[in-house]
């Protein structure tokens, strides 16, 4: 019997997940379907239950439902718990298991696909929203020398720093100066609106990799600023997108698909 999976969102028409998971299933010889489900903004729980009642095995969850998905979980992984949100659900006889694969996918893209080890590196995240929150635990596990946050609202960043205290040290970056970072990641929503996040003077000095978590936008204003500062390596979030999907697929099916060919096919040149 063919197993059913889906991605829930609003909007969801733009999602690349069905294409990605169809390729994973073909590669791994898995009998499954994967569809897009547009859930009402105030009706996620009902839409999810309807999908589960119809035989759904699990799903991915995108904006604006990641917090709702987390709230419906009866069990959750540490990645979901610390992120405070879930992008992957698995249905069991006893309830709903929740996971967050975003951070793991991002770390894998940087270390494996881009060939940049995080251990011993000085890392700066711009932003303190859900994407950054979900990445902190996987990044701490990779043992960077420094993991810092710079956010328009310092109080929000300080909340995340306190949350992570039992797992490692996350610091607050001084917006008026930069101590030098090897890797700088834009986790704000600025690239979706064509804006550039506020950047301290000299923040790119010595930077080896600038990474925008937004994907498919080409050379975003953040990456343009990095390029102008002669940062040698620029990347967007297409690898993160595919790698987090592969982590979800493996969590559901117990088999890890390859990702390199899909990332290559989906990459938009940064020009």
Which residues are tagged catalytic?
A: 66
Distant-in-sequence, close-in-space partners of 44: CB < 8 Å, separation ≥ 6: 8, 65, 68, 69
- Three-state DSSP class for residue 67: helix
Whose tokens are 């793991």? That residue is: 104
Task: Outline where 126-255 has alpha helix (H).
Answer: 130-141, 154-163, 221-228, 238-253
* Nearest in space to 12 (alpha carbons), one of 50, 57, 62, 56: 62
**C-alpha distances in angstroms, 10 versus 40, 47, 180?**
7, 12, 39
63 phi-psi bin (left φ>0, alpha ψ -120 to 50, beta other): beta
* Nearest in space to 5 (alpha carbons), one of 254, 239, 25: 25
267 CB-contact burial (10 Å; exposed 0-12 / middle 13-18 / buried 19+): middle
- Distance between CA atoms of 271 and 267, rounded to whole angstroms? 12
One DSSP character per residue, 71-107 reads HH-SEE-HHHHHHT--SEEEEETTEEEEE--HHHHHH
H-helix or E-strand spanning residue 59: strand 56-61
Distant-in-sequence, close-in-space partners of 49: CB < 8 Å, separation ≥ 6: none
């Amino acid at each position: 019997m063919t197993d059913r999976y889906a991605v829930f969102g609003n909007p969801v028409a733009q999602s690349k997940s069905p294409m990605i998971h169809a390729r994973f299933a073909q590669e791994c010889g898995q009998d499954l379907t994967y569809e897009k489900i547009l859930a009402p903004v105030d009706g996620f729980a009902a839409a999810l239950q309807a999908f589960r009642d119809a035989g759904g095995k699990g799903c991915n969850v995108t904006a604006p439902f990641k917090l709702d998905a987390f709230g419906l979980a009866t069990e959750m992984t540490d990645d979901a718990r610390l992120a405070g949100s879930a992008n992957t659900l698995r249905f069991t006889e006893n309830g709903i298991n929740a996971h967050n694969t975003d951070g793991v996918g991002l770390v894998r893209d940087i270390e494996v696909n881009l060939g940049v080890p995080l251990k011993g590196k000085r890392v700066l995240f711009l932003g303190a929203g859900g994407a950054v929150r979900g990445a902190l635990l996987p990044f701490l596990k990779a043992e960077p020398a420094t993991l810092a946050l710079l956010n328009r609202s310092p109080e929000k960043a300080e909340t995340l720093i306190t949350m992570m205290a039992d797992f490692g040290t996350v610091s607050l970056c001084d917006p008026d100066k930069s101590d030098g970072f090897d890797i700088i990641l834009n986790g704000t929503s600025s690239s979706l609106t064509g804006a550039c996040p506020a950047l301290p003077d000299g923040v790119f000095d010595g930077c080896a990799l600038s990474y925008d978590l937004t994907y498919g936008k080409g050379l975003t204003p953040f990456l343009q600023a990095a390029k102008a500062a002669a940062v040698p390596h620029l990347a967007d979030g297409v690898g993160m997108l595919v790698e987090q999907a592969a982590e979800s697929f493996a969590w559901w099916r117990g088999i890890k698909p390859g990702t390199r060919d899909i990332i290559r096919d989906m990459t938009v040149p940064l020009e």
